[in-house]
Structure 1
Amino acid sequence: MRDTYKQYGAGKFTLVGINQGDPKDDIALFGKQFGLTYPLLFDKGDSVNTTYGVTAIPTTYFIDSNGIVRSVFVEQLTPKTMRQGLASIGISMP
C-alpha cells in the first residue's frame, strides 16, 4: 500500500491508516519506521470500527468520492486486490 500510495495516490485517492489497539506514540513510531507518508489515526473508543462493522484486522475499505463504500477486503492487500479496490472507485493502475 505504501508504495502504491507514493506512486499513484497524490491527487487520485487518499489513504488513511486507522488503529485502535496500540498507544498513539507507537502508531507514530510505526509510521516513521516504515516511511509511511499517509495519515495514521487513532480510533479512540473503537468508533470507526463499530461504524464500519470491522470484525477482523486488517480490513480495507475503498470509499468513492461520494462517500459510498465500493469494495471491502478483509485480508492483507496484494497488488491484485489493491488494483481491484482502486478500480472499484474509478482509479486504474497498470
Structure 2
Amino acid sequence: MVEQGFARTQDDIVRLMRMSPSLVVRLEQRDPANRRKHILTLTGEGKSLLAETGSLAAAVDAELDALLGPRLGGQLDEALARLMGKLVADRERPGPR
C-alpha cells in the first residue's frame, strides 16, 4: 500500500487496514509539513520482502488462472478491480473516513 501510493501516513494504514493505531508504531521519519505525522517508507528489507511477495503473488495468480479458467478468472479480476476502485474512491474522498 505504501509503495503503490495508497498510504503515506500511519493514519492511512490504520484506516485502510482497519487496524489499531498502536500496531503502527515503528515509524521514524516525521512529515516536515506536519510534525505530528510520520511519513511511511519501505526499508531495504521491506523492499526485498515486497519483491518476494510480488513473485509469490504472480505464482498464485498463475495457479488461479489454471484452476478457474478464463470465465471465472475474468469474473474474479472484475470483482477485485471493483474493490480496488472502492479503495481508491475512499482514499480520494475528503473528510474523515
Q: Which bracket does the TM-score occupy, shorter chain normalised?
A: under 0.3
Greater share of residues in helix: 2
Query: Is the strand fraction higher in 1 or 2?
Result: 1
* Superposition TM-score, scaled by structure 2 size: 0.25
TM-score, with length taken from structure 1: 0.26
